[in-house]
Chains A and B, each alone.
Chain A
Amino acid sequence: MHTTTNINNSKGLDIDCIREDFPILNTTVHGKPLIYFDNAATTQKPRSVIETIDNYYTNMNSNIHRGVHYLSQISTDAYEKARTKIKEFINAPSTKEIIFTRGTTESINLVAHSYGMKFFNDGDEIIISAMEHHSNIVPWQLLKTYKNINIKVIPIDDDGNLVIDNFESMFTERTKFLSLVYVSNSLGTVNPVKELISIAHKHNVPVLIDAAQAVNHIPVDVQDLDCDFLALSGHKMYGPTGIGVLYGKEKYLKAMPPYQGGGDMISKVTFEKTTFNELPYKFEAGTPNIEGVIGLGAAIDYINNIGINAIHEYESGLMEYATKALQTVPGLQIIGNAKEKAGAISFLFENIHPHDVGTFIDFEGIALRTGHHCTQPVMDRYGIPATSRVSFAVYNTKAEIDILVKSLIKIIEVFK
């Protein structure tokens, strides 16, 4: 298996070496070398993740937590080892608190459904922010079918910062939950979640953090944040699609009813009554995405091998460089100039629609995202239909940003 060596020396990360770990980066698009700037949608996968999944099906495939045979043992061990890796990666106290899901979306739906159905009453309030992804808006709205809850929204300012001067006054005795995005996928804003969690806790309100756009860019420590739940997706951190994680404090997970019923989540079933399995299995009904979990474990090894702090430092350099470079493009306006940003930059031209930018830039070999980024309320807030977004991963380079800028200037010429 290919391993990355000497990637983190005194001069910083050896990006050429890191790029060699990602086979897809050798692709050409319309005859040009691929420049992949759509990492907030999904990151590319290193060879070690691809080979781990290949190895699972070649040498280990078996259902887990069931058989006593050899294959079942080794696949169960690999699955549970990955749980330990994710526990350590986000510094959770216990593997009982690490639940595998399909992704951030399912993690949030699990909490909204299981916690919300049990603990919310008519007239209760929950708080979210104006920069939530649809996945942290719609699950709470769906709950309104059963519970007459009110959703309060923390506003954002013109630069894309949360307006938190009056945050504490949003809490009343009816406030039951705070669900908040750590890093905005459309604006790149890094929210002061630790501060907001501590304010919520003063009012005995539990907090879920949507860390989908945070975990591959900045170190995330659930004990330091003191969040009660945290949701993340494997495919945005160099792992496979269809696998995610819900971290939850044991006291809450214990009190919550199962989200789905089936195999693996039970300890005893009769037609009269079922006794549920212990944590975390209570929330993992049915045969899980085994290769996804094991692949995610390999992705975490990959990040750890480089070091999340080194990745953060390198990507901060890219963000700063790209921001300055994009500001030199005539007529380009950056949407979202928050004090602290990570991962993504959204921009707009007055006379060129993002979709036209997207089609033209594709012919330069550059993949970027155009649209509302599943954050329509953010687009409404700024009175715009859509943006173009560049989002970074550890394999991106300043040279790629230079090509992006040159390509954008070419597009301006066409639309003059």
Chain B
Amino acid sequence: MIDLQGVTKAFGNNHVLRGVDLTIERGTSMVIIGGSGTGKSVLLKCILGLVAPDAGTITLEGTDVTKTDRDAFLARFGMLFQGAALFDSLPVWQNVAFRLLQGRDRLPKPEARDRAIEKLRRVGLKADVADRLPAELSGGMQKRVGLARAIAADPEIIFFDEPTTGLDPIMAGVINELIREIVTEMGATAMTITHDMTSVRAISDRVAMLHDGVIQWTGPVSQLDSSGDPYVAQFISGSAEGPIEAVR
């Protein structure tokens, strides 16, 4: 279980997070929605320790994430970045198997390569992409390689940062289906950041809306359309009229 209490973060005078309280139960798929620039990515990076929060606590299974062994903590996570963030200088299979090739328990190269190809197949890519460089792949393929890398070490928790941004609707649907299938079959806890409502409905068990630095509403996806929250209602309808200012 991931628990956030009173998490705040400011960059200069820009108070991005103003006291975020959020609980993500083990094995559930939580999707954080909210407009651009509302701090969704910052929130996710705070949990991973990529950004240090100014105040508040973040616990994983009851242990403060700032007081735990960092390598052991990160070994439980997989992350799909918004732009896939593949390492340009490495071939696809080494990107996917990156974690498996590091550390004390690293696998021999042939075994790591086999595992990478298996994960590539899992995300619908053929083995022949394994030796290509990321720059030779389309955006959708890069995203799938990023997804394969996120699941390569069978993590307990997977973060997805804008998994469908920049993809055509069909590829976005493929990625959404893959995420849902993988999270279900691995039994992983998932946290996804998106403002793509199709993704929200395809991926989530629960939804939280981040607005103005706080969690405005949280609940099961089945209640999203009947939340009664004006912010959520405006967001899911995509209306310019409502409490969320259209010009930010």
Are A and B subunits of one complex?
Answer: no
